[in-house]
Amino acid sequence: MISKAYTSFQLRSLVLKNRFIKTATYEGMCDNGRPTQQLIDFHARTAQGGIALTTVAYGAVNPDGRTHEHQMYLHQGIVEPLKELTDAVHRAGGKASIQLTHCGFFSRNKNIRGNKPLGPSKVLNTYGIMSGLAFSRAMTNGEISQTALDFAYAADFSRNVGFDAVEIHMGHGYLLSQFLTPQINKRKDNYGGSLENRMRLPLEVIAETRNAVGEDFPILVKLNLSDGFKGGFTIVDSIEVAKALEYAGVDALILSGGYTSKTPFYLMRGDIPIWDMTKVEKNWLQKIAIASFGRFIIRKYDFTENFFMPLALQVRKAVQLPLVYVGGVVSRQGIEDIMKEKFDMIALGRALIHDPDFILKIQDGSIQKSECNQCNICVAEMDRGGVRCVL
């Protein structure tokens, strides 16, 4: 069964040489929003490790969609380095995808227009308080429509610079996920209230994006199985949204969970590197806040292998479209189990940060399991020169 993971798979016109995806892990390798040689090398190295599809993290669909000023947003000024990146991945025998995102209210971007981050509703933005962005503003209907067009533009732009697929981020508490979450989306119009209304913008994004990229180009979606807190988006909601996305012609769903502003370690599990997070924080007030209250505010979740499997299986039973399993893939046995449960592809984060040759070594039998110990210091490293394993 493990050999199936090493067989090819097709998404529209894109042929992937195996079932493995390097999932988006924010690299922290842009200089004032411009992709660096370090980012190019990181993804080329991932492709050299035999991964079929490597995902560049956090491509904001407009300047205000960045959580902070240093993230990239997709615009003409960065065509050249992105072309170099996709060329380098192709030369290394892989394919490249980019995660298209808008942060919504979860922002500390001081350059934001109007001095208020946008979201479905006005909410307290604890992440941005120390940057003077304490509250979000509810988007107007015009801003909602423009956002769908911005995703479509960003997807077409990505295709033109050589990406082979795009991944629309609908999870982890970013804008589209904020629309899906009842506790955050308090709108009284047809974008809030019922699940049907809450999924309206995500579906409009898919429709506009398909319209922009044409029929051949794969669109993947990262969707939450659960937000991981009471009052959030649940597995029951997730199944319904998965069905709607299937109907809308999405090519594959990557099933994750958690909310960056509330349950950030639900999506990773394992240790919370409070000390390292404190050290990399540049804002002194925030630094003091993390050091003093971090361990009381940030909830810890124990790591287990394939930790999203029980929830992901519920979606597997409800839809036919290709599903990508993500979360805690660290061993040969774990890969075997995922294939047995009829997931089509497997996405990995930390096992590849730890060792980009992980899947080659599993294939040739030289290792059975990753030595990543889920210390999660890689999370702090994103802001300390670029994501890497410290082990």
Ligand X SMILES: Cc1cc2nc3c(=O)[nH]c(=O)nc-3n(C[C@H](O)[C@H](O)[C@H](O)COP(=O)(O)O)c2cc1C
Asked whether 391 and 371 are in contact (CB, 8 A), the reply is yes
CB 161 to ligand X: min, Å: 19
Closest C-alpha among 204, 168, 184 to residue 105 = 184
**Are β-strands 252-256 and 323-326 bridged in parallel, bridged antiparallel, or unpaired?**
parallel
Considering only residues 98, 138, 326, 362, which one is a binding residue for ligand X as defined by CB under 6 A? 326
Q: Which of 58, 73, 127, 174 is catalytic?
A: 174
Burial class (CB in 10 A: 0-12, 13-18, 19+), 249: middle
Stretch that binds ligand X, among 45-53, 76-84, 183-191, 346-354 (CB under 6 A): 346-354
Q: Does 151 bind ligand X (CB under 6 A)?
A: no
CB 116 to ligand X: min, Å: 24
Q: Does 268 bind ligand X (CB under 6 A)?
A: yes
Q: Does 82 bind ligand X (CB under 6 A)?
A: no
Q: Does 259 bind ligand X (CB under 6 A)?
A: no
68 versus 187: smaller Cβ distance to ligand X: 68
Residue whose CB is nearest to ligand X in the complex, by number: 349
Quick note: the x/- pattern for ligand X over 189-228, rule CB under 6 A, is ---------------------------------x------
208 CB contacts (<8 Å, ≥6 apart)? 148, 149, 151, 152
Gap between the Cα atoms of 198 and 187, Å rounded: 9
What is the distance in angstroms between the CA of the first residue and the CA of the last residue of the chain? 31
Q: Does 348 bind ligand X (CB under 6 A)?
A: yes
Considering only residues 219, 241, 244, 329, which one is a binding residue for ligand X as defined by CB under 6 A? 329
Gap between the Cα atoms of 279 and 291, Å rounded: 9
Cα 95 to its chain centre, rounded Å, is 17
DSSP 140: P
Told to judge if 174 belongs to the known catalytic residues of this protein, a careful annotator would answer yes
Q: Does 100 bind ligand X (CB under 6 A)?
A: no
Q: Does 350 bind ligand X (CB under 6 A)?
A: yes
Q: Does 107 bind ligand X (CB under 6 A)?
A: no
Considering only residues 51, 155, 362, 382, which one is a binding residue for ligand X as defined by CB under 6 A? 382
Stretch that binds ligand X, among 20-28, 194-202, 309-317, 355-363 (CB under 6 A): 20-28
Asked whether 53 and 94 are in contact (CB, 8 A), the reply is yes
Buried b (16+ CB within 10 A) or exposed e, 10-35: ebeebebbbbbbbbbbbbbbbeebeb
Buried b (16+ CB within 10 A) or exposed e, 170-188: bbbbbbbbbbbbbbbbebe
192 versus 258: smaller Cβ distance to ligand X: 258
Q: 314 is written with which tokens?
A: 């519920």
Considering only residues 327, 334, 343, 359, which one is a binding residue for ligand X as defined by CB under 6 A? 327
146 versus 368: smaller Cβ distance to ligand X: 368
Q: Does 128 bind ligand X (CB under 6 A)?
A: no
Q: 119 is written with which tokens?
A: 């979201």
For binding to ligand X (CB under 6 A), which residues are involved? 23-26, 57-58, 99, 169, 172, 222, 256, 267-268, 326-329, 348-351, 378-379, 382, 387
Task: Provide the annotated active-site residues.
Answer: 174
